[in-house]
């Protein structure tokens, strides 16, 4: 019986976390109130600690910097809040970081109205090239990323057949 209650508590906690994540504020209040009235304990889920306001602020700042193409702000936040053990030791995180660098390298080409500022574009491409020569060099043996090592040397990547997917 105790096992069932533990699972019920965990399940209720997950429902609460989802309602919070999806911003169903009224539903969440009603759900929490009803659980309290019925004496149903709400388990604090593992992801629940992620919901604090500081973490949400950091997440929103990361997304805003990503959406605005603000590479410096994004990677400052990335390095400050993603542990180096994850950034350097997790292959998924390394691949994600590679794709993030690609996003910022071509951001101006994709999202500028008219021709992008050449100086700013050159700066972003140079930053990407430096990444490829340093931290990104570890992925140069990966078939998935090999074509992107040519990106800094292609005059107009948006019309080049190798980079159409970008």
pLDDT at position 1:
45
pLDDT at position 78:
93
pLDDT at position 113:
67
Kindly state the tokens that stand for 31: 């759900």
DSSP 70-134: -HHHHHHHHHHHS-HHHHHH-HHHHHHHHHHHHHHHHHHHHH-SSSPPHHHHHHHHHHHHHHHHT
pLDDT at position 142:
77
Distance CA 5, CA 19 (A): 21
Q: pLDDT > 70: what percent of the chain? A: 76
- Predicted model pTM: 0.61
Burial class (CB in 10 A: 0-12, 13-18, 19+), 131: buried
The full set of domain ranges for the chain reads 2-50, 82-163
pLDDT at position 164:
57
pLDDT at position 62:
93
Kindly state the tokens that stand for 18: 């989802």
Nearest Cα neighbor of 134 from 75, 66, 77, 69 is: 75
* Regions of the chain short of the pLDDT cut 50: 1, 49-50
Kindly state the tokens that stand for 88: 């350097």
Q: Are 91 and 137 in contact (CB under 8 A)?
A: no
pLDDT at position 11:
82
């Amino acid at each position: 019986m105790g096992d069932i209650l533990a699972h019920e508590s965990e399940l209720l906690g997950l429902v609460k976390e989802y309602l919070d994540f999806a911003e169903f504020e009224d539903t969440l209040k009603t759900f929490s109130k009803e659980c309290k009235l019925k004496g149903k304990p709400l388990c604090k889920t593992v992801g629940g600690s992620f919901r604090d306001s500081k973490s949400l602020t950091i997440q929103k700042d990361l997304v805003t910097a990503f959406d605005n193409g603000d590479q410096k702000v994004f990677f400052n936040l990335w390095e400050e809040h993603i542990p180096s053990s994850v950034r350097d030791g997790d292959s998924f995180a390394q691949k994600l970081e590679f794709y993030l660098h690609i996003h910022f390298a071509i951001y101006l080409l994709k999202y500028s109205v008219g021709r992008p500022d050449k100086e700013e574009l050159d700066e972003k491409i140079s930053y990407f090239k430096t990444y490829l020569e340093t931290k990104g060099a570890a992925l140069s043996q990966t078939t998935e990323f090999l074509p992107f090592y040519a990106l800094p040397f292609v005059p107009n990547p948006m019309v080049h057949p190798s980079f159409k997917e970008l």
